[in-house]
Amino acid sequence: MLFDQRPKDNKRDLYDAEDELKALASALRAGAPLVTIVGLRRTGKTSLLLTALNQTAQPSIVLDMRALASKPYATKRDLIQEIERTLNEFYKAHLSSGKRLFNWLKRVQGVSVSQSGLSISWGGKEPTELSTLFDELNAWAKHEKTRMIIAFDEAQELKKVAGVDMAKLIAHVYDYCRSITVILTGSAVGLLYDFIGSQDAKAPLYGRHITEIRLRRLSERIARDFLVRGFEQAKTKTDERIMDAAVKRLGGIIGWLTLFGITSVEAGKMSESAIDQTVEVGKSLVRQEFENFLKGREVGRQRYEAIMRHLARARSSSWSAIKGSLEAAEGRTINDRNVTELLTNLVKAGFVEKEGEYYTLTDQMLAESFR
């Protein structure tokens, strides 16, 4: 169903992403070593990933890094536990190949297998070296005459993992693990590419070819069509005026349109109230995401919030106008470099985008939240 908030994993439920699905499937068939799926929050990156993995016969695991978003830093233990979880899920879903994989991985130092599942040591006298673990996953895939896909959802959070250079590890996999494809999804596109080091000649992954799949907002016409089809599926009567109002207020973010659809179907009809309810939920969610962004940036909190409020009012603003608004609020001159750094961080985190010389908020819900 289109109005299902859970990530889609079937092509029939994936809306307006046929070209992106074809591109991702083609990259997987070709054995691309590194693929990124990027786009704004709630534009369907996880759904695209899961649908593509569901279509392929290649074994895969998806590591969910979203749990790290609320933390200022993470540990090797956090990462190891997520790897454990995904490998154990793979075993349960694919008993025969899972048993062969577990028997293979038992040779890795710090890895043990029992009736309760696979366990990986993250510390102590015999910690597991992640490069060795990935080497053995690669060796197993080669032995099985297949290719393993390892995906990191919201991979920009990997930069927080203390004690593990994840970019270096992925570079090792790229260079030496020829039977593994790594997929990185990211909503904070700039932060993801900072993690990859695409502009840093000293970064481990610099110069490697990356296959990029990019998801975008829906246009007003396509957003409206999404709602029409969703309400047809749910056998709920539509109201042209309210549907147009929802498209304009919620923008082309498929996640918000889906939430509006669910809210309306549960109420048995479309209404202004359903739009308002969607906005209230959305405001809470985006505000929490912004709070996560501010962790570790508390010194700049007032200025970051001031920029967001300014853009919520102005809708589109130049660098000089933003600088002027900050200086007016503080009653003093602010260094040009500081303003540029604040805006760059907001753009990289996916809250603000720059088109030409003007800055805008990436999501209508951010504007609602900061008005």
pLDDT of 70 reads 83
**46 burial type by CB count under 10 A (0-12 exposed, 13-18 middle, 19+ buried):** buried
Listing DSSP states for 140-153 in one string gives HHHHTTS-EEEEEE
Q: How far apart are CA 185 and CA 39, in angstroms?
A: 8
Using DSSP's 3-state secondary structure scheme, residue 317 falls into strand
| CB-side neighbour CA atoms (13 Å) of 35 | 27
What is the per-residue pLDDT across 53-111, written as a single tens digit (0 to 9) for each?
A: 999 999 999 999 998 888 888 999 999 999 999 999 999 999 999 999 999 999 999 99
pLDDT value for 69: 86
pLDDT at 1 > cutoff 90: no
Residues of the chain with CATH 1.10.8.60: 220-290
Is the separation of the CB atoms in 257 and 284 below 8 Å? no
**DSSP-derived secondary structure letter, 157:** G
* Location of each CATH 1.10.10.10 domain in the chain: 300-370
As a whole number of angstroms, the distance between CA 289 and CA 188 comes to 11
For tokens 């270096």, the residue is 168
CATH number for region 11-214: 3.40.50.300
Cβ 23 vs Cβ 52: under 8 Å: no
For residue 138 the two structure tokens come to 């690669």
CATH class of 220-290: mainly alpha
pTM (two decimals): 0.94
Domain at 300-370, CATH class: mainly alpha
Ramachandran area for residue 310 (φ above 0: left; ψ -120 to 50: alpha; else beta) = alpha
The whole-angstrom separation of Cα 172 and Cα 177 is 7
Conformation bin of residue 165: beta by default, left when phi > 0, alpha when psi is -120 to 50:
beta
- What's the pLDDT at 72? 81
For position 123, what pLDDT does the model report? 84
- Residue pair 144/100 in contact by the 8 Å Cβ criterion: yes
Q: Where in the chain is the domain with CATH 3.40.50.300?
A: 11-214
Amino acid (1-letter code) at residue 319 = W
Q: What is the pLDDT of residue 4?
A: 92
Q: In what order do the strands lie in the sheet with 352-355?
A: 317-318, 358-361, 352-355
* CA 82/CA 104 separation, integer angstroms: 19
Q: Please check the confidence at residue 198 and state whether its pLDDT lies above 90.
A: no
Nearest to residue 363, comparing CAs of 317, 314, 312, 323?
312
122-131, 136-145, 349-358: least confidently modelled range:
122-131
208, 19 Cβ separation under 8 angstroms:
no
Name residues whose C-beta falls within 8 Å of residue 339's C-beta, 6 or more positions apart in sequence.
319, 322, 323, 326
Give the pLDDT confidence of 137-176 residue by residue, as tens digits: 999 999 999 999 999 999 999 999 998 999 999 999 999 9
Output the CA–CA distances (angstroms, integers) from residue 237 to 53, 220, 233, 262, 271, in the order listed: 35, 20, 11, 13, 11
Cα dihedral value 107, 110, 115, 116, nearest 10: -140
Query: If DSSP codes are grouped into helix, strand and coil, which group holds residue 354?
Result: strand
